[in-house]
Structure formats: structure tokens, C-alpha cells
């Protein structure tokens, strides 16, 4: 064997820990990716379901007090560990929350819930859910819970009935000609029907404006992809801004030109916005023949452009905050990968936010780029208005102004440092 064939193996072994790019791609990235996968999809289903409840049930007098089975039902939901219960005052509020995805599913306890059960008549629980593929899981869990509660009611009713029937039989055994009085027959029939399923479920499927349809889902993911592109392009510009110009030698030329430092940054920013714009437009155009269906109007289109612009400016600024750590192109690449990939998952760009675990959802709601992209989604797939989207994005807009401004200061410092030689 010629040792020469192992020369590259030698180089690879030596490079593994010394070259950060290789270390990242060979070891750090797969671990990171796997960790995220486990965190996001490791559990077969979300641990708790956020259920919105409207409890309209009225208490019923039971001799020594009052009884409100609606309260008992909601309490049982809370104690089950399956649900995080959010109470609403009206059915409209509940439906609105379901439509906006603020709760996974809605439950309405009717005002005659207790009285119906006390009269051994069927009580009706209404379940409100979105007509989406992923709502079926929430429905089946909720229905399962209602059924279990219904079974509990049945068992108790049977126990009460047994006590009553046993007493009746004892009182009437002396009378051999005793038979069930005819006026009791219909009651007994209703009782048997009741105990088959004391609580029944009615379902109302809400039609989400778009996202429930195939077209809506495809638009939903296309918007997510726009977020990913904005993330990668913007972050890359921010992190590489100065280091790339130094490497290419263009910094020398720019420094000797009449351009001011902020003008060069503006030029870079515009170039980045151009790339982001082209990329988003390409995604949009590509998604149309694939069936994506957007709630597009002049207003929503304008707001979409504005929100993506805000998201891009934020991420450029965010990249500039990281730029001082990128002292070499290799370091810049490593930082870029280390930051961009986790955000891609944590920010709810690749996976719908509502499928993410709650702690990730919090990040996705708070992270400015995710928030602007979510606002675009709400507009283009849930049918929210441009003003709502802009209002929802206000914290992201404020964060963008702050982060970009700090980014400009850092950029100027880096350029000044480069000027020092």
C-alpha cells in the first residue's frame, strides 16, 4: 500500500477540529439538526391542547343546594391534564379565537346542561373546530374526553336509578299482581335511551378563510419559505457585510470613494432587499401554478411588501450585530449556519406554528421576523386585513428600528476599524 493514498485522510483528520466550517458541517450541524427534530417532532402529538370554553350552564336546585354540572365538566377538563382551558364569555369570541388559531379547539357548554341531565334528557356539548386536516386530532381528544365524562354521568345515573328501583321492588313485592304503571313506560324508555349516552356532542366546523383548503395550505408554506429566504439572505448580508468587502478588496475602493459609510451600508441593504424581493416574487409566482391561493388585493399586497421589508431590515440588522464576531470568512460562515438553521425551525417558518411545542411557539411569536411573516400569513391565508397585520407587527417594527440602528452603529465601527488597518 502506498501511503500517499492516505494523505488526504491525514489532511481531513487534521482539518476536522482546526477548520471551523468542517467541524460545523461534520459534527455540530447534524447534532443541532437532530436535537431540533427531537424537540419539534420527537413527541407524537402536542402534550396539551388549548381549549376555549364557553360555559353557559345554569345551576339547578337540588334540595340541599345547587348543582352546576357545566362547572364540574370544565373542572374535569382542567384536571385531566389533557387541556389548557381558556374561558370565553361568548360563542362569537370563542369562534374568533379558533379561527385565529389562538385556541386549538372550542367547547360550548349549553345553558340547560345540568337541567337536561337532571331530567335524564340528553345534554348537548358543542365542539367548534377548524375545517383543517390537523384539527381532527384535537377533535378526537375532546370527543374522547366528553365521552368519558358522559360515561361517568351514566354510571352515576344508573346507581341512582338502581337505588330507586330496588326500593320500589321491595315496597311492591307483597302485591303479586304489581306491574309497571303505564305512565312509567315512556319514562323508562327515555331513561334507557339517556343512559346509552347522557351527553351528546354536536360539531361545528368553522371554514377558515383559506388555510383549510389545499390552496391555503400551499400558500401558507410558500409564505413560510419567503420567511426562510429573507432569513438566509438578510442574515448573510449582515454577517458578511464587512468581511466580504475586505476579502474582495472592494472596501479599499469604497473607502477611497466619496461614499460615506452609511451610504455603503444603504447600498448593501438595498442589494439585499432586491435579492429578498426577487426571491419572494419567484416563490409567489412559482406557487400559483402549484395551486397556492392567496387572499390578495392591492392592500394586502402592499402590506405584504412592507412587512417583508420590515422582516428583511430586522434580519440584516440582526446579522450586523453578529458581524463583529465574524473576523474571518470561515467564522462568518460558521456563525451564519449556527444562527440561521435553528431560527429556521424555531421561528415557525418550516413547520406551522401551531404544530410546534408551546415553548417554541413563544419564540416564534416574539421573534420579529417570524411575527411579520405570521402577519403576512394571517393576511394572505386567514383573510385578516392589512391594518390588522400592521398593528400585529408593531412590536416587530419597533424591534427592527432598534436592531437596525444598532446594526448601523456596529457597521460604522467595523468600517472605522478596517480603516485603521
Partner 1 sequence: MGEVVVEDLVKVYRDGVEAVKGVSFSASRGITMLMGPNGSGKTTTLSMIAGSLKPTRGKVYVMGFDVWGDGWVEARKRIGFAPQDMPFRAKLTVLENLVWYGLIRGMGLGVARRRASELLREVGLYEHRRKRVEELSGGMRRRLTIAAALIGDPEVLILDEPTSGLDPGARRGFWELVERLARDKVVIASTHIAEEAEKHADKVIIFHRGRIVAEGRPDELIERHAPLARIVVKGDLRAPVEVEGATLLSSSPEEQAYTTRSPETVLPRLIEKLIEGGSRIESVEVRKPGLEEVYLRLTGERLEG
Strands 105-109 and 60-61: unpaired
Q: Which of 4, 44, 289, 421 binds partner 1 (CB under 8 A)?
A: 421
**Cell reading at 27:** 459534527
For residue 250, state whether it binds partner 1 (rule: CB under 8 A).
yes
For residue 413, state whether it binds partner 1 (rule: CB under 8 A).
no
Q: Least distance to partner 1 from the beta carbon of 321, Å?
A: 23
Site string for partner 1, 260-299 (x = CB under 8 A): x---------------------------------------
* Residue pair 213/295 in contact by the 8 Å Cβ criterion: no
**Cell reading at 73:** 365538566
Q: Name, in order, each residue with C-beta under 8 angstroms of 170's C-beta and a sequence gap of 6 or more.
A: none
Binding segment for partner 1 (CB under 8 A), chosen from 139-147, 208-216, 254-262, 339-347, is 254-262
Q: Least distance to partner 1 from the beta carbon of 252, Å?
A: 4
Q: Which of 61, 79, 183, 420 binds partner 1 (CB under 8 A)?
A: 420
Binding segment for partner 1 (CB under 8 A), chosen from 69-77, 97-105, 249-257, 382-390, is 249-257
SS3 (DSSP) at 83: strand
Cβ closest to partner 1, residue 206 vs residue 259: 259
Strands 105-109 and 199-206: unpaired
How far, in Å, CA of 119 to CA of 310, rounded? 60
Where do runs of H (alpha helix) occur along 52-119? 69-80, 91-99, 113-118
E strands, 173-250, are 199-206
Strand partners, 123: 199
Q: How many CA atoms lie within 13 Å of 217's alpha carbon, on the beta-carbon side?
A: 8
Cβ closest to partner 1, residue 78 vs residue 252: 252
Q: Which of 16, 188, 253, 325 binds partner 1 (CB under 8 A)?
A: 253
Q: Which of 26, 124, 201, 255 binds partner 1 (CB under 8 A)?
A: 255
Q: Least distance to partner 1 from the beta carbon of 243, Å?
A: 14
Q: Name, in order, each residue with C-beta under 8 angstroms of 1's C-beta and a sequence gap of 6 or more.
A: none
Cβ closest to partner 1, residue 254 vs residue 355: 254
For residue 242, state whether it binds partner 1 (rule: CB under 8 A).
no
Considering only CA atoms, which of 385, 326, 377 is closest in space to residue 354?
377
For residue 254, state whether it binds partner 1 (rule: CB under 8 A).
yes
For residue 244, state whether it binds partner 1 (rule: CB under 8 A).
no
How far, in Å, CA of 374 to CA of 381, rounded? 10
Considering only CA atoms, which of 105, 114, 1, 122 is closest in space to residue 53?
105
Strand partners, 304: none
Binding segment for partner 1 (CB under 8 A), chosen from 182-190, 200-208, 256-264, 348-356, is 256-264
Distances (CA, A) of 206 to 70, 105, 106, 220: 23, 10, 10, 18
Cβ closest to partner 1, residue 250 vs residue 391: 250
Q: Name, in order, each residue with C-beta under 8 angstroms of 2's C-beta and a sequence gap of 6 or more.
A: none
Cβ closest to partner 1, residue 14 vs residue 260: 260
Cβ closest to partner 1, residue 14 vs residue 247: 247
Q: Least distance to partner 1 from the beta carbon of 327, Å?
A: 13
Binding segment for partner 1 (CB under 8 A), chosen from 92-100, 244-252, 329-337, 349-357, is 244-252
Cβ closest to partner 1, residue 45 vs residue 250: 250
The dihedral built from the CA positions of residue 124, 126, 132 and 133, taken in this order, carries a sign that is negative
For residue 419, state whether it binds partner 1 (rule: CB under 8 A).
yes
How far, in Å, CA of 403 to CA of 389, rounded? 21
For residue 328, state whether it binds partner 1 (rule: CB under 8 A).
no
For residue 258, state whether it binds partner 1 (rule: CB under 8 A).
yes
Classify residue 126 as left (phi > 0), alpha (psi -120 to 50) or beta: beta
Q: Which of 118, 124, 206, 259 binds partner 1 (CB under 8 A)?
A: 259
Q: Segment 103-132, which members bind partner 1 (CB under 8 A)?
A: none
Q: Least distance to partner 1 from the beta carbon of 7, Å?
A: 30
**Cell reading at 55:** 360555559
For residue 257, state whether it binds partner 1 (rule: CB under 8 A).
yes
Binding segment for partner 1 (CB under 8 A), chosen from 81-89, 167-175, 250-258, 334-342, is 250-258
Cβ closest to partner 1, residue 61 vs residue 420: 420
Q: What is the torsion angle, in degrees rounded to the nearest 10, for the CA atoms of residue 228, residue 232, residue 237 and residue 243?
A: 170
Binding segment for partner 1 (CB under 8 A), chosen from 33-41, 225-233, 258-266, 314-322, is 258-266
How far, in Å, CA of 113 to CA of 12, rounded? 72
List interacting residues with partner 1 (CB under 8 A). Answer: 248-260, 416, 419-421
Amino acid at each position: 500500500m502506498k501511503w500517499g493514498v492516505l494523505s488526504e485522510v491525514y489532511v481531513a483528520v487534521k482539518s476536522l477540529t482546526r477548520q471551523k466550517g468542517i467541524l460545523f458541517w461534520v459534527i455540530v450541524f447534524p447534532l443541532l439538526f437532530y436535537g431540533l427534530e427531537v424537540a419539534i417532532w420527537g413527541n407524537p402529538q402536542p402534550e396539551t391542547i388549548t381549549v376555549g370554553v364557553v360555559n353557559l350552564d345554569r345551576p339547578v336546585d337540588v334540595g340541599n343546594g345547587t348543582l352546576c354540572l357545566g362547572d364540574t365538566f370544565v373542572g374535569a377538563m382542567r384536571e385531566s391534564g389533557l387541556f389548557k382551558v381558556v374561558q370565553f364569555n361568548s360563542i362569537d369570541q370563542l369562534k374568533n379565537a379558533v379561527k385565529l388559531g389562538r385556541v386549538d379547539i372550542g367547547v360550548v357548554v349549553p345553558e340547560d346542561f345540568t337541567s337536561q341531565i337532571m331530567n335524564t334528557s340528553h345534554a348537548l356539548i358543542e365542539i367548534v373546530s377548524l375545517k383543517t386536516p390537523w384539527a381532527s386530532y384535537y377533535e378526537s381528544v375532546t370527543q374522547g374526553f366528553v365521552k368519558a365524562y358522559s360515561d361517568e354521568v351514566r354510571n352515576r345515573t344508573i346507581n341512582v336509578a338502581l337505588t330507586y328501583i330496588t326500593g320500589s321492588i321491595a315496597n311492591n313485592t307483597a302485591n303479586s299482581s304489581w306491574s309497571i304503571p303505564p305512565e312509567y313506560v315512556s319514562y323508562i324508555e327515555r331513561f334507557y335511551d339517556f343512559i346509552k349516552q347522557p351527553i351528546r356532542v354536536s360539531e361545528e366546523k368553522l371554514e377558515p378563510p383559506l388555510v383549510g383548503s389545499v390552496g391555503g395550505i400551499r400558500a401558507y408554506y410558500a409564505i413560510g419559505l419567503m420567511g426562510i429566504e429573507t432569513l438566509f439572505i438578510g442574515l448573510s448580508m449582515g454577517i458578511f457585510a464587512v468581511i466580504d468587502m475586505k476579502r474582495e478588496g472592494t472596501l479599499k475602493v469604497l473607502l477611497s470613494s466619496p461614499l460615506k459609510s452609511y451610504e455603503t451600508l444603504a447600498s448593501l441593504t438595498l442589494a439585499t432587499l432586491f435579492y429578498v424581493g426577487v426571491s419572494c416574487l419567484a416563490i409567489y409566482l412559482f406557487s400559483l401554478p402549484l395551486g397556492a391561493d392567496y387572499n390578495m388585493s392591492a392592500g394586502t399586497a402592499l402590506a405584504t411588501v412592507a412587512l417583508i421589508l420590515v422582516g428583511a431590515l430586522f434580519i440584516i440588522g440582526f446579522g450586523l450585530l453578529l458581524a463583529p464576531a465574524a473576523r474571518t470568512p470561515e467564522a462568518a460562515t460558521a456563525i451564519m449556519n449556527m444562527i440561521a438553521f435553528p431560527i429556521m425551525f424555531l421561528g415557525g417558518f418550516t413547520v406551522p406554528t401551531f404544530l410546534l411545542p408551546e415553548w417554541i411557539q413563544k419564540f416564534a411569536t416574539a421573534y420579529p421576523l417570524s411575527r411579520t411573516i405570521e402577519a403576512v400569513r394571517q393576511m394572505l391565508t386567514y383573510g385578516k386585513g392589512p391594518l390588522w397585520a400592521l398593528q400585529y407587527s408593531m412590536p416587530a417594527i419597533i424591534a427592527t428600528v432598534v436592531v437596525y440602528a444598532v446594526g448601523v452603529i456596529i457597521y460604522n465601527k467595523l468600517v472605522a476599524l478596517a480603516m485603521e488597518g
